[in-house]
Structure 1
Amino acid sequence: MGMMFNGERKPYLKVLKGRERPAWAPLKRNLLTVPNRPGALPKSTDVEPRPLAVPIVIKGVDLADLQKIKEDLAAWLVTDEPCPLIFDDEPDRIYYAYVDQSIDFEEIVKLGMGTLNFICPDPYKYSSVSKYQHSIISEGMSLVTPLNKGTVKAKPIFEIQVDNDYTHIDIS
């Protein structure tokens, strides 16, 4: 199994079992305590950045080739901004992540094993597929309803491509 980061995939890298991809981002519950009242009252919830620990193996021809692969790995993964991260076992979901910390490889002849630590400042994962319901109202008129099947409220993004001249398009 592999992964694609920033639109690129590396043939020498494989993702191992044991990766840590939590079902949701860490939540921090802020509670208000009131004197002489047992317990607390819910105040707010903070959604914290999502960490992703990904155990990997890299394979080279020999130990010298492995060192070159590690340099290529750094050039590929170390970015200034979060980039799209897609795993083969979740091909329709996109995380926006960048590498956090360093990686220490256990090197054996032509293999290197270690754990990539990613951090997702935007804690949500996104669908790579647009979901909408399309209805024909009458000749030349149709209704498109965006569907949000996710777990967080989201505003739709409309992209309109027309095939004829139109004098009126409504978005409401």
Structure 2
Amino acid sequence: MIFGSIDLRQYFKIKNIKKGMLPPIENITQQRPGRDGVTLRRTKIKPRSISAEIEIKGSSKENLNIIIRHLANTLYTPNLNELRFPDELDKFYMAKLEGDTDLDEILYYGNTMLNFICPDPIAYGQLRKIQFENRLKAYNKGTYQSLGIIIVEIIENMDHLKVTLLNTGEFLYLEDNFISGDIVVIDLEEEYIAKNGYSLMSRLYLESDFFPIPVGEFEILVSSGNVTLEYRERWL
């Protein structure tokens, strides 16, 4: 188990890991006046909890206490950290320790349960970086839609820039005076666009949509420019 950049197995042995096949799922429903049953409005994925039962072993009681102090310092973090497991090191969750860590001690052995909360319940995989001109046809190997960044290097003077996800027809349309050498950065996660470091949101058409990168095969069309797409695979 790796938390942040530290392999926690130097401190303990993992006896058991408990994590659901899927994060908790909540179906939002609405009563149908005068009719039986309910109408399904939407489905939410809730935060994921992951638990690890561990055993800490010291060479003496004093040594056990030293290990516990070092481990406590490693586990207590103000922010979320990457959490990876030995059987799937190519994927990680953004997690934080929560709850009690009461230790059952016998001689110089200690057993406890580490409980992690993942506010974002989706696992992250490989970072993909793809360069193309105008049109891209690619494959997202993850099992959950991804978000990312599209960087467009303008190669000719023009009065608009359009980026379209051909799978759905969703697009981003910007009307501005673009000149060769301008760099436009489209952040699909933060829903923000900048040109040469300055906001371009006021030049974005209202009909525009910040689209996700779908699972499986997808196509993106850019009206003009040298383009770089960066996204990280996401996994249920």
TM-score range, shorter chain: 0.7 to 0.9
Residue deviations 1:50-101, cap 9 Å, x none? 0001111111111222122211111101111110011101111101100011
> Contact 1:132–1:147 at 8 Å: present in 2 too?
no
Matches within 5 A, 1:106-145: 106-127=104-125, 129-130=126-127
Between the aligned partners of 2:139 and 2:114, the Cα distance in structure 1 is 34
Q: Which residue of 1 aligns with 2:176?
A: none
Between the aligned partners of 1:106 and 1:170, the Cα distance in structure 2 is 56
- Kindly provide the amino acid, as one letter, of the partner of residue 85 in structure 1: L
Normalising to structure 1: TM-score of the pair?
0.79
Among residues 227, 232, 235, which one is paired with 1:170 in the alignment?
227
Q: CA deviation at 1:4?
A: 0.6
Between the aligned partners of 2:21 and 2:129, the Cα distance in structure 1 is 25
Q: Which residue of 1 aligns with 2:144?
A: 152
Matches within 5 A, 1:82-93: 82-93=80-91
Q: Which residue of 2 aligns with 1:13?
A: 12
Q: Which has the higher Rg, Structure 1 or Structure 2?
A: 2
RMSD of equivalent CA atoms: 2.6
Where does structure 2 lack aligned partners over 5 or more consecutive residues?
152-180, 182-224, 230-236
Between the aligned partners of 1:171 and 1:83, the Cα distance in structure 2 is 27
Q: Which residue of 2 aligns with 1:72?
A: 70
Matches within 5 A, 1:37-56: 37-56=35-54
> Contact 1:106–1:114 at 8 Å: present in 2 too?
yes
Q: For 1:170, what is the secondary structure of its paired residue? A: strand
Q: For 1:147, what is the secondary structure of its paired residue? A: strand
Normalising to structure 2: TM-score of the pair?
0.59
> Contact 1:131–1:146 at 8 Å: present in 2 too?
no
C-alpha distance 84-146 of structure 1, shift in aligned 2 (>3 A): farther
C-alpha distance 131-171 of structure 1, shift in aligned 2 (>3 A): closer
Identity of aligned residues (%): 30
- Kindly provide the amino acid, as one letter, of the partner of residue 89 in structure 1: D
**1:97 to 2:89 alignment:** no
Length, aligned pairs only: 156
Could you list the runs of 4 or more consecutive aligned residues of structure 1 that deviate by over 6 angstroms after TM superposition? 132-135
Between the aligned partners of 1:92 and 1:107, the Cα distance in structure 2 is 34
- Kindly provide the amino acid, as one letter, of the partner of residue 21 in structure 1: K
Q: For 1:169, what is the secondary structure of its paired residue? A: strand
Where does structure 1 lack aligned partners over 5 or more consecutive residues?
136-140, 160-166
C-alpha distance 145-120 of structure 1, shift in aligned 2 (>3 A): same
Q: Which residue of 2 aligns with 1:162?
A: none
C-alpha distance 132-80 of structure 1, shift in aligned 2 (>3 A): closer
- Kindly provide the amino acid, as one letter, of the partner of residue 83 in structure 1: N
